[in-house]
Amino acid sequence: MTLGNSAGALVVSVLLLLGQASDKTPTSPRPTDEPTTPVEPPGPSGSAPPAKPSVSHESGTPPGRTATGRLAQRESVPQQASQPPKASAPPAESEPRPETAPAAETAPRRETTTRPETAPPIEAPPPTAPPAAPLDLGSLEKRLRETEAIGAFTKLSLKNQVDDLLADFREYHKSHDRSMLTRLRQAYDLLLMKVLSLLQDNDPALARDIASSREALWRILTDPDKFKNL
């Protein structure tokens, strides 16, 4: 072996050591340009910092694998940012890599794919809407007819007003004029308030049931198909 050859070999080995040393350092998301084998312990510590910004965890894996690892890392970066800083996480991830590269690669991938699944608190917020009250229009109508809390004249007057409101809804469904909806809602709320004020003292159960059916009734009135079946 000539002196030039041995010098060349020395240079190559130094470069390899530098690469490996930088591979042990945690992390920047950017991939490395040169694939290195992450087997050896960190080399000269003085040379590690310059290599830090440009070398990622997956630098020891083949280019194709680094691509997937990069993706996985990108996915996991915002979650890591939202969590408290895990100082020990990058070394733990990098530990198994030197032994068996495929196994080491699948481990972080599993981790990154399971993280979105373990984040259901974001996907499934606590249900804020109250459970839909069971609506039995026939029963409500019968109870309204039979209640003694409202006199006959008043019932007839209420029926007139209900008919007027239904006529307005018929017009709304014909014209599809969305601007009518606000006015209809006001009229609907007012009429319901009248009914409730008449019932609340002498037939509180019916008043409660009608009040809890308010939104279900409104949905029926505003839905063209359901409205036709009224």
Partner 1 sequence: MSRRAMAGALIASTAMLSAAPVRAADDPAVLKDLTAVIALQGQPCGQVLTATKQGDNDYVVACKDGSRYRVFVNAEGRVVVQKQ
Which residues sit at the interface with partner 1, rule CB under 8 A?
Answer: 150-154, 156-158, 160-161, 194, 198
A 10 A CB-CB count for 210 gives 19
Residue that has been written with the tokens 């373990």 in this structure: 118
CB of 138 to partner 1, least distance (A): 22
**Whole-angstrom Cα distance, residue 188 to residue 181?**
10
162 exposed, middle or buried (CB, 10 Å; 0-12, 13-18, 19+)?
Answer: middle
**Whole-angstrom Cα distance, residue 7 to residue 103?**
36
**Whole-angstrom Cα distance, residue 64 to residue 33?**
13
DSSP state of 25: S
CB burial string 1-21: b at 16+ within 10 A, e below: eeeeeeeeeeeeeeeebbbbb
CB of 154 to partner 1, least distance (A): 4
Q: Which is nearer to partner 1, 123 or 148 (CB)?
A: 148
Q: Which is nearer to partner 1, 140 or 149 (CB)?
A: 149
CB of 196 to partner 1, least distance (A): 13
Q: Which is nearer to partner 1, 107 or 158 (CB)?
A: 158
CB of 206 to partner 1, least distance (A): 16
User: Hey, what are 171's tokens?
Assistant: 């017009």
Write the CB contacts of 227 (distance below 8 Å, at least 6 apart in sequence): 169, 170, 173, 220, 221
Q: Which is nearer to partner 1, 115 or 194 (CB)?
A: 194
User: Hey, what are 134's tokens?
Assistant: 């069971």
CB of 127 to partner 1, least distance (A): 38
Q: Which is nearer to partner 1, 132 or 193 (CB)?
A: 193
CB of 230 to partner 1, least distance (A): 19
Q: Which is nearer to partner 1, 33 or 148 (CB)?
A: 148
